[in-house]
Structures are given as structure tokens and as C-alpha cells.
Amino acid sequence: MGENLSRRRYLSWLVAATATLILGCLVAVTIGPAAVSLTQVAASIGAHLGIPTDAPVPILVDSIVWQLRLPRVLTAALVGAGLALSGAVMQSVTRNPLADPYLLGLSSGASVGAVCVVILGIGFALPVAAFLGALLALVATLSIARVGGTITPVRAVLAGLAIAQLAGALTSFIIFWAAKGDSYREILNWLLGSVAGATWSSVAIAATAVAVVGTGILLSATRLDAFAFGDTSAASLGINVNRTRWALLASVALLTGAMVAVSGSIGFVGLILPHLVRGISGPGHRRLLPLVAVAGAVFLVVADTLARTVFDPRELPVGIITAFIGVPVFIVLIKRKKSHLWA
């Protein structure tokens, strides 16, 4: 009985969040140095999707909407969804409330891969390099954390910290050694995170990764639930623990790699959003995952809009905004949550 009520409540949250996301994306496209109205945005998108409109949109406005702002907003939404999903999965399979792609070295590893490719001037290999970097960092972190066949949450965080530091040093070294002129700016974007350079191909990469990996993760919701009491309990519930854990972590590495390839390493989305959303959806993954993806998307669209407007005409890397919002939220969560999660 209560279940049905709360199911309805959950669905209304999901619908409300999705509506907020769509509306938020449209409004975000209107915001910027050149004034664009919501009608013009709708008309421009409609025209490109082949829907005839009464009032034709000026060509300049159309190119601002279609070429500049829309790809950027969509990329922000997709990256937010991808990072939030990654964080939720990592927290479950490592049984660690602190796990997110950033903390376990994934993002830093992906940055090394991305920076290498930028320096070598083979930009088309970027997503692949970022994925390989993320995967390598993940394998390194988990091999260090794995002692006597088990991975404890504390060891995973410590190992991730070491790998993230190493990857950060490697990235800085590569820049110091090889970067000149323009590549500095591009590299800074990866380190701090930004969707400023997003194009339709960014959207395509992020959308493919979120759709493919996200579907796989959603279908694994039950298996993720089974990890709640740890490995032995998951195994006794019929889960093939090692195979499931590595498959899910590799999926997350792929997802994070794709996100870093289009936006650099944006922190705190994957860490904070799962905690916030669990408060609404509960810990069950079939409810948590869809809502966390939508909430992550909303969060990053808002953060990116702030990033490009607050100090207009100068633009902040969005990673700075997510940290400014994320850290206080995190502190509130630490203070509010009962100590068992953080002991």
C-alpha cells in the first residue's frame, strides 16, 4: 500500500525533474551575451528538426542557438547525467559513500590520456585516449586497494588518492615538457573541467556513452542492490561478484572516459548527486539511477549557465562552480547524515 503511494511520489519526482531538465535546457539556451527569446529557441530547434514554423528565425540567432549554445547545453546535460550515474555505480560496487570518478583516479587518468593526445596533435583519438587513461587508473587504483582478495572502502579511497596525485603530476609534467601557445588553454580546460568548446560531435560522443552504458547500468540495477551487504552477501544472493564488479567498473571507466573527453574532469557531480537523490528515491537502484541521471543533468546545466554568465564576459571553468556548490552541499550532508555512513 505504502509502496504504491511512494511509487506515485517517486514517479512525480521523476516527471518533475525531467520537465525541469527540458525547460532548464531551453532557458539556458536563451541566456548569453546576445538576447534570444524562448520562442526563437523553439523555432530554431523546430526548423532543424524539420518542423515548419510561421516566423522564420534570423540566421544569426539561428546559428547562435544551433551552433553554439544548444550543443553546449546538451553536452552539459549529458555529462552531468553520465557523471552522476558513474558516481552512483562506484559508490555501490566499492561500498564507499566517498567514491566518485574523481576520487578513485578515473578522471585524472582520463585527463592524462586526453592531454597526451592534445600534445601529440591527434585530437580525433581523444575519447579513446581518455577511456584508456581512465581504465588504466581504475585498474591501478583497485589493484593497489585489493589486499587478500578484498577491497575495503578506506583502501580504495587512499589508493585512488595516490593514483589521482600521480596522474595529476603526470599531466602537469607533460604540459611542462611539451605544451606551447594554444595547448595551454586547452589543457587547463581539461584540468578544471569545461564544456565551453562543445560541438555537435561532443553531444554525439556524450549521448552515445550515456545511452549505451546507461542502459547497461540500468539493467544491472538488481545486481547493484545486491552489493548492499558486501561481497559475500552479494555472492550468496546469486551474484557473480568479481565478474559483475569488473564489468560495472569498466562500464563506468568507459562512461567517465567519454565524459572527460568532451568536458575535462568535472568534480563533485558524481559524489554529491547520488547522496542527494537517495534521500528522495531511496537506495534501490532501479529508482535511484534514472532520477540521479536527470538530476545530474539539471545540476550541470545550471552550473554551466552560471559559469558563463556570472563573470560575463569572462568565463569560469564549470568545475570551479561545481566545487563551489558541491563542497557546501557535501558539508551539509556530512553534518546531517547519521554517523554510520561516515564512520
Partner 1 sequence: MGVDLDRLSFGIDGTMILRDVSVSVQTGSVTGLLGPNGAGKSTLLRLIAGIDTADSGTVTLDDVSIGSLSRRDAARRIALLEQNAAPSVELTVLEVVLLGRIPHRTTLMGSFSGEADRAVAFDALAAVGAASLSDRSWHTLSGGQQQRVQIARAMAQQPSLLLLDEPTNHLDVSAQLSLLGQVRDLGVTAIMALHDLNLAAAYCDRILLLDGGRLVAAGTPDEVLTPEIIGAVYGVDCFILEHPRGGHPVIVYSAAAVAAGNS
How many residues bind partner 1 (CB under 8 A)? The answer is: 35
Residues 246, 247, 248, 250: is their CA dihedral positive or negative?
positive
Local structure of 198: helix, strand or coil: coil
333 contributes a contact to partner 1 by CB under 8 A: no
| Least Cβ distance, residue 233 to partner 1 (angstroms) | 6
| Least Cβ distance, residue 160 to partner 1 (angstroms) | 17
| Least Cβ distance, residue 144 to partner 1 (angstroms) | 19
Interaction residues for partner 1, span 219-248 (CB under 8 A): 219, 221-222, 225-230, 232-233, 235-240
Distance between CA atoms of residues 227 and 44, nearest Å: 47
* Residue span 57-96 as binding mask against partner 1, x where in contact by CB under 8 A, dash where not: ----------------------------------xx--xx
218 contributes a contact to partner 1 by CB under 8 A: yes
Q: Which of 69, 245, 278, 308 binds partner 1 (CB under 8 A)?
A: 278
Distance between CA atoms of residues 195 and 215, nearest Å: 24
| Least Cβ distance, residue 6 to partner 1 (angstroms) | 11
146 contributes a contact to partner 1 by CB under 8 A: no
Q: Which region among 33-41, 62-70, 127-135, 216-224 touches partner 1 (by CB under 8 A)?
A: 216-224
| Least Cβ distance, residue 217 to partner 1 (angstroms) | 11
- Judged by beta carbon, residue 202 or residue 244, the one nearer partner 1 is 244
Distance between CA atoms of residues 131 and 290, nearest Å: 23
Residues 311, 305, 264, 119: is their CA dihedral positive or negative?
negative
Distance between CA atoms of residues 23 and 115, nearest Å: 35
8 A C-beta contact, residue 28 and residue 305: yes
CA-to-CA separations, 216 to 203, 209, 219, 254, 255, in angstroms, rounded: 20, 11, 5, 12, 11
C-alpha cell at 314: 569572462
What secondary structure does DSSP assign to 212-267, as a single string?
HHHHHHHHTHHHHHGGGG-HHHHHHTT--HHHHHHHHHHHHHHHHHHHHHHH----
Q: Which of 64, 285, 291, 308 binds partner 1 (CB under 8 A)?
A: 285
| Least Cβ distance, residue 36 to partner 1 (angstroms) | 41
> Backbone dihedral region of 122: left (phi > 0), alpha (psi from -120 to 50 degrees) or beta?
beta
- Judged by beta carbon, residue 2 or residue 33, the one nearer partner 1 is 2
| Least Cβ distance, residue 226 to partner 1 (angstroms) | 5
DSSP class of 56 = P
Distance between CA atoms of residues 170 and 205, nearest Å: 26
Interaction residues for partner 1, span 151-210 (CB under 8 A): 153
Q: Which residues contact 253 (CB under 8 A, 6 or more apart)?
A: 106, 131, 134, 135, 138
Q: Which of 34, 283, 311, 324 binds partner 1 (CB under 8 A)?
A: 283
| Least Cβ distance, residue 241 to partner 1 (angstroms) | 8
19 contributes a contact to partner 1 by CB under 8 A: no
Query: Which residues would be at the binding site for partner 1 (CB under 8 A)?
Result: 2-3, 91-92, 95-97, 153, 218-219, 221-222, 225-230, 232-233, 235-240, 278, 282-286, 338, 340-341
